[in-house]
Amino acid sequence: MAGGGDMGLSNGKKYPGKLTRKVLVTCIVAAMGGLIFGYDIGISGGVTSMAPFLEKFFPAVYRKQARDAGTNQYCKFNSQTLTMFTSSLYLAALLSSFVASAVTRKYGRKPSMLSGGILFLIGSAFNGAAVNVAMLIVGRIFLGLGIGFANQSVPLYLSETAPYKYRGALNIGFQMSITIGILAANVLNFLFAKIEGGWGWRLSLGGAAVPALIFIAGSACLPDTPNSLIERGNHEQAKEQLKKIRGVDSVDREFNDLVAASEVSGKVDNPWANLLQRKYRPQLTFAVLIPFFQQLTGMNVIMFYAPVLFKTLGFGDDAALMSAVITGIVNCVATLASIVSVDRLGRRFLFLEGGTQMFLCQVATTVLIALKFGTSGNSVDLPKWYAGLVVFFICVYVAGFAWSWGPLGWLVPSEIFPLEIRSAAQSINVSVNMLFTFFIAQIFLAMLCGLKFGLFIFFAFWMVVMSIVIKLFLPETKGIPIEEMAGVWKTHWFWKRYVAEDENTTPNGGMV
Ligand code: BGC
């Protein structure tokens, strides 16, 4: 497990506490929230490449695809209705994250997690039983509402529960279960697509009920976080809870700091208006930029459309689904690398290394696709070795994402917000993430058709921009207790002008 060493020295604070079994199990159970998100990401791309599904719900796309078999490969899947199926979910998630913010703050992290699981379960029933496009879309809206709640509450739950030294590793449990969800969906699509009679897609879509039930059962058993219990006035319960998860009795220092943070938080009537205050400018900036950049890495082009993309490159039906399984495995395994390194190497190192790796792979993929397909996009027979090379670069790219922007896109926002703005700011993070996931899902097929191989260059450009922003503006947050995070901005060359050193602040950095 990661961590240890000389961490927790910011502002001189160190709290006693170990990585107990209790905290480990609690975090693993909470992280299951990522399963529903991941399952959905993985399932939609595969289902939309299954011919019987297309024929039943999107006959125009089906006919176009069959007709265009030999012509322009870049454009054959371009259909706004088809992409609407994938992306409707993200708009619903965007909206529900705002409702989730109020629930998470007023009633605790746990009710939000439970609501997320239940809404997702309803969505899976609609989708598995769908007889028309309307039912499909309604189902996806419910799934999206569930994801909005889960993604709002789970990362906060993990960052608040974990001892600060292991916060990175434990929070990345969320991303780990996202990738397990994606992989499970990819494997199931591969198997269900083979079912005679062509109804395998029903199992793929209805199968979303399984991660939903796991998440519901898990979150029903979890206690709420000490931070949230204190925020809602349950001090005694919070202290007991803190002792249990830290595995020591001497939790007074941490407990008192949590109470102080909560007193500041209690004075805030409207966290939304509060967010706009000058002293929260760094947090607000990253609540918007991190999810925006995470989506502009282009990762979801691979996640949603890998089978379609591989088919476009001339792989057969089976080979296309199989390649998606391969990228799914790489995504999952490479996430482990970030779990073991994030609390040692730090967030900045992973962001910058992963960013460089992804950039190089995007350039290589562009060159390979351009050489074979040119701008006409006319179909060619890809030699096996050539196709293998494309898959190789796509896998190295996926690994880069899996140990940088993937997990850090959820970890960093959840650890930089002070309690008084935490749930509101996390909603901004989720909604910006969903908005740009929506854009990528909605416009990718049209972009592929219009930009051709230049599509990857578009994302490569953004990789350069985001790496520069991280290098210059994101301070390191590893090993710093969550309610102590304000200090990192006060000493940062740029942000210190927003967060004055001499302000009279509480331990959590809020004004008194
Ligand atoms: C992102 C998703 C992405 C997934 C891939 C997550 O962190 O938010 O958009 O599909 O990682 O593993």
How close is the Cα of 183 to the center of ligand 1, in Å? 12
Q: What is the pTM of this model?
A: 0.88
Quick check: 107 pLDDT over 70? yes
Confidence of residue 12 (pLDDT cuts 50, 70, 90): low
How close is the Cα of 320 to the center of ligand 1, in Å? 20
Q: Bigger pLDDT: 466 or 390?
A: 466
Question: Which atom from ligand 1 is nearest to the alpha carbon of 295?
Answer: 9
Strand, helix or coil for residue 72: coil
Q: Which residue is listed with tokens 């002008």? A: 497
Quick check: 416 pLDDT over 50? yes
Confidence of residue 512 (pLDDT cuts 50, 70, 90): very low
Residue-level pLDDT at 507: 43
pLDDT above 90 covers a percentage of the chain that reads 57
Residue-level pLDDT at 476: 97
Quick check: 58 pLDDT over 90? no
Lowest mean pLDDT among 6-20, 183-197, 484-498: 6-20
Alpha-helix runs per DSSP H in 313-418: 317-345, 347-373, 384-402, 405-416
Q: Which two tokens stand for residue 358?
A: 């992804």
Strand, helix or coil for residue 204: helix
Residue-level pLDDT at 78: 61
CATH of 21-224+268-498, one of 3.40.50.620, 3.50.50.60, 1.20.1250.20, 3.40.50.300: 1.20.1250.20
Residue-level pLDDT at 7: 36
Exposure string for 427-455, b = 16+ CB within 10 A, e = fewer: bbbbbbbbbbbbbbbbebbebbbeebbeb
Strand, helix or coil for residue 268: coil
Tell me, using a 6 A CB cutoff, whether residue 178 lines ligand 1.
yes
The pLDDT tens digits of the residues spanning 438-450 come to: 888 777 777 777 7
CA distance from start to end of the chain? 38
Confidence of residue 345 (pLDDT cuts 50, 70, 90): very high
Distance, in Å, from the CA atom of 360 to the CA atom of 190, rounded to the nearest integer, reads 30
Strand partners for 511: 505
Q: Pick from 390, 376, 412, 391: which is nearest to 167 by CA?
A: 412
Tell me, using a 6 A CB cutoff, whether residue 181 lines ligand 1.
no
Tell me, using a 6 A CB cutoff, whether residue 437 lines ligand 1.
yes
Quick check: 37 pLDDT over 70? yes
State the SS3 of 34-56.
HHHHHHHHHHHHHHCCCHHHHHH
How close is the Cα of 406 to the center of ligand 1, in Å? 5
Confidence of residue 509 (pLDDT cuts 50, 70, 90): very low
**Spacing of C-alpha 346 from chain mean position:** 19
Strongest mean pLDDT among 40-44, 118-122, 274-278? 118-122
The pLDDT tens digits of the residues spanning 452-476 come to: 777 788 999 999 999 999 999 999 9
Tell me, using a 6 A CB cutoff, whether residue 409 lines ligand 1.
yes
| Ligand 1 atom 11: residue of nearest CA | 406
